[in-house]
Amino acid sequence: MTGLPKRPNSRPARIGVLGGGQLGRMLGLAGIPLGFQFLFLDPSADACAGATGELLQAGFDDSEAARELAERVDVATFDFENVSRQTASALTEKCALYPAPNALGAGQDRAEEKALLNSLGINVAPYHLVSGRTDLLEGLEKLGYPAVLKTRRLGYDGKGQVVLRDQEDLERAWQKLGDFELVLEAFVPFEAECSLVAVRGLGGETRTWPLTRNVHSNGILMLSRPGGFDDALQSEAEQKMQALLEHLDYRGVLTIEFFVSRGQLLANEFAPRVHNSGHWTIDGAACSQFENHVRAITGLPLGETGMTSHSLMFNWIGELPDRDRALEIPGLHWHDYGKSPRPGRKIGHATLTADSAEQLELSARRLAELAGGEFPELSAKLFD
């Protein structure tokens, strides 16, 4: 099969994406108006990004499929950072991949990630590497309770981690995670969780969106609201971001998740891709994280990242609320990923936009009541 012809000295015509989930879908939705076509590689035949481009069904460890994708596109990226380095390297034999494999690999192992962040002056919580029970006991003696035990690789959305509050949690945690290489982290008494989403383009041009407050439940992001942090904290986050972007010689969108503890930022982890906490940018910023990622990897000028309105994002987990009733709420923007309902699965989100913080809060309370469950209590945390 042949792809679109290569066009030297012009922008790429087709973008390849390793991963066909909702992030890939939103990259497609952002890139199509700019004139690009998309080819996605994903293990699932019904991957939801297929609605915005052609789908190549193959595993993320399939180097031959990666080479096929590379032969049919002009530039490639990914929406899922657990793609193997071998697959990424196979792809780069045929076309450019942004972010580059070094950035992809840097965040795949939590121990390596923490060491990198510390080396750049980006502080993380105290931690201890665990390869056996003895290491775990040594770590707990060093860090104390409570602590968080995590797999070094492949954990996301609360998977691959257990909170240890006392000795009674030890055996349960070991039965669940003991077969993996692990890292034990000190539990951070934080005032807030937040993230900074940034984009770096051709030639090192960098832009950032406002620092965004996040609320999680059972390790899964439920709500995000940009703004609300003072200029000093925004500046501190941007300085840390700049150090990481320059070290990785990065191109594309990158996110750092932080804890705010005693007024200071502690990095939790970084994601070398578009990020769930930046979904509000589709409706609440001058240029979304998805469009700017496409712009960055194809060499186009970056778009403005300022807020155009007060915004708030609700993640829909497992099932969607009543769409018709939700659309009655002023300033609501509905995003259905086209995925089948399943407990714990992100199947859509809604963004609220408003001209004032007061109107945003009123609309948020209406949407939270409609959604039910934990949403009324969780949304209140964003307006304290």
Confidence (pLDDT) at 157? 55
Q: What residues contact residue 145 under an 8 Å CB cut-off, 6+ apart?
A: 164, 165, 166, 187
Helix/strand number for the chain, H first, E second: 13, 18
Query: Model confidence over 17-29: pLDDT tens digits?
Result: 999 999 999 999 9
Query: Model confidence over 275-288: pLDDT tens digits?
Result: 999 999 999 999 99
Q: Strand order in 161-164's β-sheet? A: 127-130, 182-186, 147-151, 161-164
Confidence (pLDDT) at 261? 92
* d(C-alpha 105, C-alpha 99), whole Å: 10
Give the whole-number percent of the chain exceeding pLDDT 70.
95
Q: Are 74 and 98 in contact (CB under 8 A)?
A: no
Q: Are 84 and 60 in contact (CB under 8 A)?
A: yes
Judging by beta carbons within 10 Å of its beta carbon (0-12, 13-18, 19+), is residue 263 exposed, middle or buried?
exposed
* d(C-alpha 268, C-alpha 173), whole Å: 21
Amino acid at 23: L
Residue 2 has pLDDT above 50, yes or no: no
Mean of the per-residue pLDDT values of the chain: 92
pTM: 0.93
* Three-state secondary-structure class, residue 275: coil
For the chain, domains (ranges, CATH) are 14-97 (3.40.50.20), 126-186 (3.30.1490.20), 192-383 (3.30.470.20)
Confidence (pLDDT) at 222? 97
In this prediction, residue 171 has a pLDDT band, given cuts at 50, 70 and 90, of confident
Q: 176: closest CA among 199, 160, 155, 193?
A: 160
Query: Model confidence over 325-357: pLDDT tens digits?
Result: 999 999 999 999 999 999 999 999 999 999 999
Query: Model confidence over 121-160: pLDDT tens digits?
Result: 999 999 999 988 889 889 899 998 999 999 888 766 556 7
Name residue, tokens 């990424």.
Answer: 88
Angle, helix 22-31 to helix 289-298, in steps of 10 degrees? 70
